[in-house]
Amino acid sequence: MSQKKTTTTTRTKKPKTAAKSSSSSAKRVKTSASSTYTTKTVKNTRTTQTARSASAKRPNGAKQASGASRKRRRKPKRRLRLDRLIALVIAGALLIGGGVYAISRFQLIDRVQQVISGGDRQTTVVRHDKEIAEIKKKNALDTVDGVSAFSDEELRSCFYSEPISDKIDERLKNMGYDEQIPKDDLRYVRVLFMDFEGKTEVGELVVNKDIATKVENVFYDLYIHRYPIGKMILPDAYGTRISESFADNNTVGLCFGLSDESSGAVHEEGYAIDLNPLFNPLIKDNGSSLSVFPMEGQLYLDRTIQGEHYIYEGDYAVKAFEKEGFDWKGDEQGMNDYKHFEYPHASSRRHDAQNEDTQAQSDGQDEYIEDPAALDQTPEYDDIVPEDPVYDDTPYDPGYQDPGIVDQPTEEPPYEQYPDEGGDGLYPGDPVVDDPFGQAPPLE
């Protein structure tokens, strides 16, 4: 019995030892946890006491104001940052875009390189030969882009003239050309012009070879000054109806079918240009009425105003044409052709001289016939005073012979005897006339 008890005692002791060790470890954990919690509690207590002491020093209104101010400060900061971001993005885009435009427009990189190198090295010039070749292949009225990047020399090369080709000759025949002027005396002119919408288009004209270069210079000058032109194409598209070409505001040079009042002869020789004809018609004053050509130009009769696309005295088109020697016919009284620019040439000068001589002769003849004062200049015979006669005091000598007079023997013509016809006429050969009284029967 005693042995069994000892065994149980020993068995029961071992668990107690383990329980003690576990309890002691648990106590240690609790002690450490409690110490940690105590430390945290102390810190929190100190922080709370510090905050309380700080809040105790401030009144309640200040506390509320500080809390509200914190809320107010946070929201505006976010808004300001977003606005600033948007402003920076816009400013950056503007700076980049402006810089790219300035570099491409004014070639700043080349200029900067030239300044840095001191002008010793030649700058590389960008050529546009390919673009110019493409422009020369375009048809009339085609739009042209990228011309602003051309140099002055390259732009001027787009204004040129050439002899009449077979293709252009066929087009001229469609518009009424029938060798009115030799084909060798004409030139086909290609130019650029600015239309009413501000776009660059290709234009074409046919003019006399004497003024081909002058026409190129005129339209180059108009283009660089952005002078608007409605249309510029050969009028073969309208056939022989030149009035339809003018009604469509088509600028032309050589054309046919115009009257003498419209300077038809000058146009047929290629020495005239009609610019924007619809807005600048021919206006003839007939006294009691007006004649307008083209008829559609009646909407633009009032020339007292400087309307849009009107050609008037002082207009840049007038200056550009007169610079090359052309005459503007819009200032002729009674025959105002506002669209017409004419270059003086030999035939026109001869024609004008003939007209002036004819006019002078007619004016002189009219003055001689119609002047009544010329009829009143007849001499009055009552006013004539006779001069005293001059007498020769030399005595008369019947034998005196004037040495200046030589006596010439005179022979009387032979008397021509006429045959006697038995008449009683006074002259031989008179017809016999019966005397009714001589043959009257005697009286009883």
Choose one of 318, 350, 382: the last residue of a domain.
Answer: 350
Query: Is 438 part of any domain?
Result: no
pTM of the model: 0.55
Which of the four pLDDT bands, split at 50, 70 and 90, describes residue 47? Answer: low
**pLDDT mean over 398-420:** 51
pLDDT digits (tens, 9 = 90+) for 296-332: 999 999 999 889 999 999 999 999 999 999 999 999 9
Shared domain check, 318 and 172 = yes
- pLDDT given at position 315: 95
pLDDT digits (tens, 9 = 90+) for 163-203: 999 999 999 999 999 989 999 999 999 999 999 999 999 99
Report the range out of 62-76, 310-324, 347-361, 412-426 with the highest average pLDDT: 310-324
| CA–CA separation, 316 and 47 (whole Å) | 89
Which of the four pLDDT bands, split at 50, 70 and 90, describes residue 147? Answer: very high
pLDDT digits (tens, 9 = 90+) for 148-174: 999 999 999 999 999 999 999 999 999
Q: Total structural domains in the chain? A: 2
pLDDT digits (tens, 9 = 90+) for 335-382: 999 999 999 986 555 455 555 655 555 555 444 444 445 445 545 544
- pLDDT given at position 46: 59
Query: Is 400 part of any domain?
Result: no
250-251 and 231-232 beta bridge pairing:
parallel
Where in the sequence is the domain holding 277, given as residue range(s)?
A: 129-350
Which of the four pLDDT bands, split at 50, 70 and 90, describes residue 104? Answer: confident
Shared domain check, 43 and 138 = no
pLDDT digits (tens, 9 = 90+) for 382-394: 455 555 555 555 5
Choose one of 334, 350, 366: the last residue of a domain.
Answer: 350
Choose one of 71, 94, 117: the last residue of a domain.
Answer: 94
Report the interhelical angle of 316-323 vs 212-224 (nearest 10°): 150
Shared domain check, 87 and 226 = no
Shared domain check, 292 and 223 = yes
pLDDT digits (tens, 9 = 90+) for 111-142: 676 667 655 445 557 889 999 999 999 999 99
